[in-house]
């Protein structure tokens, strides 16, 4: 099984252009499945799982075992990983059937993303101004960019100095599937980035490949550092929510939708491959409208 998994991961990289994060996720899930088969002594040839012996009963047994300690979303992802592996093997003519094809995926409860109001977003983004520290200008630029451009956390930390065009108010970002797109900076974000570069980055750092947002040693920020920045200034801002960096992306999209920007344009700005992914923001908008209706209309409660 190990060799087939390695071939599948290589296929994801070369032919599907999957990100390292995606490939590592598949690899972890498939290794866990393989270890389960070994421990359970299922579908083995000698001591190793045999790809030709794996059947629906073995996959179902693995899934049943997962339900004891995994969240539904994790179980669904692991089933998807196994299903994707065998779809690849069927396509290559290595096996005839996909043993995971008919294994039921747990129904995942839909949730609405955390979205800040315009006032909450303003309070959070401008919170660094209340604290004087070595990283104040950087943190302000980070928060302004997340909200202004609506980019993903991974896209933010991947921005290089050469990706920035302050004159045009744009940044080039590398999204999912290694797809590049242009994201737009508002005046506040562009001004914050300029102030950060002018005051907190020394001349030696100004090399095209160098990261735009860096730590004290000039190295690229880690995802955890950006998460801590958002948490830190959420506490300073006093807002009664617990937003993540991704919540600022949701907020960006929702505020554009509220302002009348069409879904196709928002889809392009967010870098979504499918319009259906962008459409979830209409649900947020509808819920907000109904809440406002219930509060404002004198007969709202009786009508609904």
Just list the catalytic residues: 152, 176, 246, 249, 272, 281
CA-to-CA distance for 206 and 201, rounded, in angstroms? 8
Helical pair 72-91 and 2-14, crossing angle rounded to 10 deg: 90
Three-class SS state of 48: strand
Pair 118, 177: CB distance under 8 Å: no
* Rounded-to-10 torsion of CA 104, 106, 107, 112: -140
Please write down the HEC assignment for all residues of 200-258. HCCHHHCCCCCECCECCCCCECCHHHHHHHHHHHHHHHCCCCCCCHHHHHHHHHHHHHH
CA-to-CA distance for 36 and 30, rounded, in angstroms? 10
List Cβ<8 Å contacts ≥24 apart for 124-130: 124/230, 124/233, 124/234, 124/237, 124/239, 124/243, 124/248, 125/188, 126/237, 127/233, 127/234, 127/236, 127/237, 128/233, 128/236, 130/236
Pair 254, 287: CB distance under 8 Å: no
Q: What does the block give as tokens for 159?
A: 């921005």
CB hemisphere CA count around 297 (13 angstroms): 12
Helical pair 223-237 and 245-258, crossing angle rounded to 10 deg: 60
């Amino acid at each position: 099984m190990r060799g087939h998994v390695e071939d599948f991961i290589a296929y994801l990289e070369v032919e599907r252009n999957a990100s390292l994060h995606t490939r590592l996720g598949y690899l972890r899930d498939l290794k866990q499945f393989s270890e389960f088969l070994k421990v359970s002594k299922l579908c083995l040839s000698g001591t190793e799982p045999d790809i030709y012996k794996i059947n629906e009963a073995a996959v179902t047994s693995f899934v049943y075992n997962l339900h004891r300690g995994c969240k539904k979303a994790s179980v669904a992802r692991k089933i998807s990983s196994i299903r994707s592996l065998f779809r690849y093997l069927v396509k290559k003519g290595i096996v005839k059937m996909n043993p995971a094809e008919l294994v039921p995926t747990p129904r995942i409860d839909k949730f609405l993303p955390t979205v800040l109001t315009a006032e909450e977003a303003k309070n959070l983004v401008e919170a660094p101004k209340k604290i004087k520290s070595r990283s104040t200008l950087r943190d302000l630029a980070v928060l302004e960019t997340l909200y202004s451009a609506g980019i993903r956390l991974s896209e933010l930390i991947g921005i290089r100095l050469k990706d920035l065009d302050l004159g045009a108010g744009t940044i080039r970002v590398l999204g999912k599937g290694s797809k590049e797109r242009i994201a737009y900076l508002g005046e506040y974000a562009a001004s914050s980035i300029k102030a950060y570069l002018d005051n907190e980055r020394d001349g030696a750092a100004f090399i095209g490949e160098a990261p735009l947002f860096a730590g004290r040693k000039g190295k690229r920020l880690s995802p955890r550092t950006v998460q801590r920045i958002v948490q830190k200034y959420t506490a300073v801002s006093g807002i009664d929510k617990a937003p993540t960096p991704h919540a600022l992306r949701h907020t960006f999209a929702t505020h554009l939708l509220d302002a009348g920007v069409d879904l196709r344009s928002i889809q392009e700005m967010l870098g979504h491959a499918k319009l259906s992914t962008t459409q979830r923001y209409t649900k947020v908008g509808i819920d907000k409208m109904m809440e406002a209706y219930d509060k404002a209309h004198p007969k709202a409660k009786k009508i609904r």
